[in-house]
Amino acid sequence: MARVTTGITSSHIPALGAAIETGKSQDDYWGPVFKGYQAIRDWIKKPENMPDVVVLVYNDHASAFDQNIIPTFAIGCAEKFKPADEGWGPRPVPDVVGHPDLAWHIAQSLILDDFDMCIMNEMDVDHGCTIPLTMMFGEPEQWPCKVIPLPVNVVTYPPPSGARCYALGDSIRAAVESFPEDLNVHVWGTGGMSHQLQGPRAGLINKEFDLDFIDQLINDPEALSKKPHIDYLREAGSEGIELVMWLIMRGALPEKVRDLYNFYHIPASNTALGALILQPEETAGEPLEPRRVLSGGTFAKA
């Protein structure tokens, strides 16, 4: 039987990819970010942790979808997905290889579970999908696992509610568990944390909000799922709304989880960045050492 063993969160900002491609990943600015991620890279490459398939929840940033078609929840069922050209040429990364059997199984199960999914048989994937892969796996010739891209609309209002995202995660878990093949499946929630990319308020970062969000995501996701959109917008900036996608990851895990790793950094370009590894408490592995890393911004002075 397939099972969701792990939930991971990650930033997906394009500047992370640019830092690698321009050789800046070890400089003073980006060094702490990549150091924070190195612990995850070391953890995930161990055979017992390496997923067979990642259900990668992200938002398409006007790449596969434009203003003609705006699916709230979509699922990539194709054999493979090419990196999108977002205006500077496609990212120089391998094609994302899908798992059509599991993807179609999840798609059918979700629809029967009252989630009216949009099914994608052809789709390019943008930085929202490929940056987390780069951050976890570096620069391999081929990605080491299969990926089911699951884009969520958080651009054109209204995006789905936190509660709907949390419930979707629960349905994804149920769908995975009814797939007969023995697979280690991860669900990754990407984007966030607090950031605003537009208008005079651009550059907003809210450390207190972010750290509370992480704490509640781990310990009380049910309550967190009820947070209204306006709270994200006021507290975490207009693009901080991406955090609702983390609730899809969290919904795919049981009520009690253990955080094996908890990394928070300010800033990565315009954003605060959070990267977590969560596992169901009953089957959780050992936490990483150190388990919690806070870096950058005002932490530097502490």
Q: How far is the CB of 59 from another protein (least distance, A)?
A: 9
> Helix, strand, or coil here: 225?
coil
Q: Establish whether 105 is a catalytic residue.
A: no
Identity of the residue, 210 or 259, whose beta carbon is nearer to another protein in the bound complex: 210
61 vs 258 by CB, closer to another protein:
61
Output DSSP code: residue 264. E
Residues making contact with another protein (CB under 8 A): 13-15, 18, 61-63, 66-68, 84-89, 155-158, 194, 196-207, 209, 228-230, 233-235, 238-239, 266-267, 269-270, 272, 296-298
14 versus 31: smaller Cβ distance to another protein: 14
Q: Is 127 a catalytic residue?
A: yes
Catalytic annotation, pick one of 61, 127, 186, 265:
127
DSSP 29: T
SS (H, E, C) 45-102: CCCCCCCCEEEEEECCCCCCCCCCCCCCEEEECCCEECECECCCCECCCCCEECCHHH
Taking the complex as a whole, how short is the minimal distance between the CB of residue 145 and another protein, in angstroms? 27
Nearest approach, Cβ of 20 to another protein (angstroms)? 15
Closer to another protein by Cβ: residue 14 or 144 = 14
Q: Is 234 or 291 the residue whose CB approaches another protein more closely?
A: 234
Q: Are 210 and 195 in contact (CB under 8 A)?
A: no
Kindly tell me the burial class for residue 111, based on how many C-beta atoms sit within 10 Å of its own C-beta (0-12, 13-18, 19 or more): middle
Q: What's the closest the beta carbon of residue 116 comes to another protein, in angstroms?
A: 14
Is omega for the bond preceding 290 within 30 degrees of 0, making it cis?
Answer: yes
Q: Which of 12, 186, 195, 265 does the annotation list as catalytic?
A: 195
Strand partners, 73: 152
Query: Quick one: which of 266, 267, 269, 201 has its CA closest to 237?
Result: 201
Shortest Cβ 205–another protein spacing (Å) = 3
Active-site residues: which are they?
Answer: 127, 195
